[in-house]
Amino acid sequence: MNVYDGQRIAAMLTARGMTQTDNVADADIIILNTCAVRAKATDKVFSALGRIRNEKKPDALFGIVGCVAREAGSDAFRRIPELNFVLGPQSYHKLPEILENPDTKLLNIDLGGLEKFDELPQMGKSPAVAYIPIQEGCNHCCTYCIVPYTRGRELSRPFNDVLKDTAHAADTGAIEICFLGQNVNGYKYTAPDGKTYRLSDLIREAAKLDQVKRIRFTSSYPTEMTDDLIDMFRTEPKLLPFLNMPIQSGSQNVLTRMNRPYSLNLYIDIVDKLKAARPDIQISSDFIVGFPGETDEDFEQTMEIAKRIRYINSYSFKYSPRPHTAAAIMPDQIPEKVKAERLAKLDAYLNELQRDFNESCIGKKFMCLYEGPDKTGKHLVYRTPYMQQCITDAPSDTSFAPEMAQIEITAANKASLRGKILS
Ligand code: SAH
């Protein structure tokens, strides 16, 4: 989602005649697009701001957008007095105001709903992977999560607006469409004529576009995985056989305290249904370890569920208390040392699962999407349908880098695959 927001901000400034630079000292405007999900991300923003204020040109405009802006609000100006603007994730389209009045301080952390989508200019050219937001905010109040505070209540964008953005992306270069939302599979839009549209309807329409070869969506809430959506995995070959469906914990008690009130059996049933619909589907998850009150036994249950589902690629985090969340003030906060030990143990196992899956791909052939050359320029980097990075030798004719290629996997390690382009 932040990649998408960053692209829109860049497009907005490009439309005003600006160009991008990698050098802070050259920039006339410096924007940090930020994430507030864990305390570490927020801390990094403030240390980067401290560094940048010494490197930038004295008159360069300088500010933060996104969730840390919303989290910190006017306090950001107190901490870094040189800041010119602080704009939340739903108000960054107000950025031009600071260009027009550079001597003021601009603070806007309102939750403006879907306004930004109407006000931002379309991007001229789409990257091969187009992120299309279909929703803002989230109505699940997971007790650890700051997102409902920073991005507000859940709002689904009008169906036709999403289709328009999808068609525009396809017309200007997109090959893969990634629908985005904090609770993406909860997408629900009722049109003025009373007809209700779901994510499955969006997938069906996007798949009709010839230029679009792959479709995915992120991130999903387990119990929003309705039958119409599961069925799309059976009927729509362009939908990738890979799904991030965060479970967070394998302990029923912890899930209840996280306010994620699904039963583990229900989660397992959903995975089974997905496998029945699409036998080659693979699942990834997010995990939080060291949630308040998590016992050794709770943690072992998380290890168990990882083993049961055999996630192929996961993200795992130490619980981080966040402002405006219920869990931050729960008793029995877990000591840092215990969190670190649990995370190390879970990570080691998740890495093992990932390596096993990668090795099981050797000898298989996948249709892959071109991402670009690697750093050395000697190899091409592709993405498999499971979003694994697959590295191939660059052909001697370097202009030959098909955007979609059939690749045979020849080797694997934990992080990536090696492959040979067949056609
Ligand atoms: N709706 C998104 C949430 C984005 S945050 C989603 O479901 O993915 C991405 C992940 O960060 C979450 O799934 C969760 O595992 C982790 N996370 C969120 N809040 C956290 C916190 N306070 N401490 C540690 N990890 C957290």
Lookup: tokens for 24: 């802070």
Output the CA 287–ligand 1 centroid distance in Å.
8
Pair 117, 157: CB distance under 8 Å:
yes
Provide the β-strand partners of residue 33. Answer: 65
Closest approach atom of ligand 1 to CA 183? 1
Confirm or reject: Cβ of 145 under 6 Å from ligand 1: yes
pLDDT in tens, 231-264: 999 999 999 999 999 999 999 999 999 999 999 9
Cα-flanking dihedrals φ and ψ of residue 148, to 5°?
Answer: -60, -30
Burial grade of 422 (CB within 10 A; 0-12, 13-18, 19 or more): exposed
Distance CA 260, CA 85 (A): 36
pLDDT in tens, 305-342: 999 999 999 999 999 999 999 999 999 999 999 999 99
Minimal-distance CA residue to ligand 1 atom 4: 182
Output the CA 317–ligand 1 centroid distance in Å.
8
Minimal-distance CA residue to ligand 1 atom 8: 219
Give the rounded distance of the alpha carbon of 189 from its chain centre. Answer: 22
Closest approach atom of ligand 1 to CA 325? 22
Output the CA 376–ligand 1 centroid distance in Å.
34
Spatial neighbors of 238 by CB under 8 A, at least 6 apart, are 206, 207, 212, 213, 214, 215
Lookup: tokens for 315: 């993200």
Confirm or reject: Cβ of 137 under 6 Å from ligand 1: no
Minimal-distance CA residue to ligand 1 atom 6: 219
Distance CA 282, CA 358 (A): 12
Minimal-distance CA residue to ligand 1 atom 5: 37
Output the CA 28–ligand 1 centroid distance in Å.
34
| Predicted model pTM | 0.95
SS3 for 301-335 is HHHHHHHHHCCCCEEEEECCCCCCCCHHHCCCCCC
Nearest to 420, CA basis, from 392, 401, 400: 392
pLDDT tens by residue, the chain, 423 residues: 898 999 999 999 999 999 999 999 999 999 999 999 999 999 999 999 999 999 999 999 999 999 999 999 999 999 999 999 999 999 999 999 999 999 999 999 999 789 888 888 788 899 999 999 999 999 999 999 999 999 999 999 999 999 999 999 999 999 999 999 999 999 999 999 999 999 999 999 999 999 999 999 999 999 999 999 999 999 999 999 999 999 999 999 999 999 999 999 999 999 999 999 999 999 999 999 999 999 999 999 999 999 999 999 999 999 999 999 999 999 999 999 999 999 999 999 999 999 999 999 999 999 999 999 888 888 999 999 999 999 998 877 666 778 999 999 999 999 999 999 997
Distance CA 102, CA 21 (A): 20
Distances (CA, A) of 177 to 211, 216, 403: 10, 6, 14
| Per-residue model confidence (pLDDT) at position 423 | 78
pLDDT in tens, 145-170: 999 999 999 999 999 999 999 999 99
Output the CA 395–ligand 1 centroid distance in Å.
40
The C-alpha angle 47, 32, 75, rounded to 5 degrees, equals 65
Confirm or reject: Cβ of 149 under 6 Å from ligand 1: no
Distances (CA, A) of 75 to 61, 80, 180: 18, 9, 30
Of 260, 317, 347, the residue with max ligand 1 atoms within 8 A of its CB, to mutate for a pocket test, comes to: 317
Output the CA 316–ligand 1 centroid distance in Å.
9
Q: Give the DSSP letter of residue 239.
A: B
- Is the peptide bond prior to 219 cis by the omega test (within 30 degrees of 0)? yes
